[in-house]
Structure 1
């Protein structure tokens, strides 16, 4: 039986590395070229994805959301200089997520979130993971658009393409 939160986390990791791999193929200046888009530069978009992923990792690990937001806010505006730095940073955080998920016995466990922007709600660990993936997908779309605005093709990183990257399981 497929564990969909784990599957989606694996997809998120793959999709991040796929878009970063495409950016690595382009001139290094692509990261910092300014444009009129969702973010001022691709580096800002990548930093935002990372900051939010880090914030949710902290919440999933038990930190209060307000504290996690405060800790990760500086990451949102801190851009890195090279794609390799983003690849390493993303890979390290993905590893922490995968280690965290291996320790979980109940991803349907309900927790209370106190979001300073939206209020208090109850949700599950699995829903939070799905949000991390959905947020990353949304902003990878921004990055793809930004690449096109800069005159470069993007790369497919849809979930269905991820399926084709997985080895076929014989029954």
Structure 2
């Protein structure tokens, strides 16, 4: 099993599961303001999308600062997305990741990431995929709390549930 690839698969599954769940809830849930790390579910999804976009560009060898700037410049547009627009955007970025994974079977390849807050560091493709998954999981947990604050049902997205839903996961 390739852990990075599997964890990215989990991330993709969890995002799509949450978007599917949100599409069955009242439309105002997406933009209602709540007290959390971001003021709404839409802005949280927008942030996850921006970070996913930034990291795929870094994996494709775009410099960190440029990838960050390009991804963050989309926030004013994506902050206002509907659930359907989020579904499409996340599907598009997932397609980019799948293309990358199909072309790069060796995830131990390293690249230098010069993060403006933390400095320069060599990291592997696999570590980046693990970060993308972990980052998404963190913020999907925020969305679960936001849903509960709005008296809406949340969604179970544990990795162990993914084991049973994704038949491609093997030991």
User: 1:41 and 2:52 equivalent?
Assistant: no
8 Å CA contact 2:50–2:74 kept in 1: the answer is yes
Provide the secondary structure at the position in 2 that maps to 1:114: strand
User: In structure 1, the residue corresponding to 2:45 is in which secondary structure?
Assistant: helix
| Separation (CA, whole Å) in 2 of partners of 1:114 and 1:103 | 24
Contact conserved, 2:29 with 2:41, CA < 8 A, in 1? yes
- Distance change >3 Å, CA 37–CA 105, structure 1 → 2: closer
Return the offset for 1:88: 0.9
Say whether 1:125 aligns with 2:125. yes
Give me the whole-angstrom Cα distance separating, in 2, the residues matched to 1:76 and 1:34.
17
Mapped contact 1:23–1:83 kept (Cα < 8 A): yes
- Does structure 2 conserve the Cα–Cα contact (< 8 Å) formed by 1:48 and 1:75? no
SS of the aligned residue for 1:62 comes to: coil
Report the aligned-residue RMSD: 1.6
Cα deviation, residue 133, structure 1: 0.4
Residue 74 of structure 2 aligns to a residue in which SS? Answer: helix
Q: Does 1:107 align with 2:126?
A: no
Residue 148 (1) aligns with residue 137 (2): no
What is the DSSP-based 3-state SS (H/G/I as helix, E as strand, rest coil) of the residue aligned with 2:133? Answer: helix
Aligned-residue offset at 1:167? 3.1
* Corresponding residue of 2:67: 68
How far off is 1:84 after superposition? Answer: 0.9
Q: 1:32 to 1:120 in 2, by over 3 A?
A: same
Distance 1:167 1:129, change over 3 A: closer
- How many residues end up aligned between the 2 structures? 169
CA contact (8 A) 2:163 2:169 kept: no
For normalisation by structure 2, the TM-score amounts to 0.94
Contact 1:48–1:77 at 8 Å: present in 2 too? Answer: no
What runs of 5+ residues in structure 2 fail to find an aligned partner? none
Distance 1:68 1:10 in 2: 22
Query: SS at 2:84's partner residue?
Result: helix
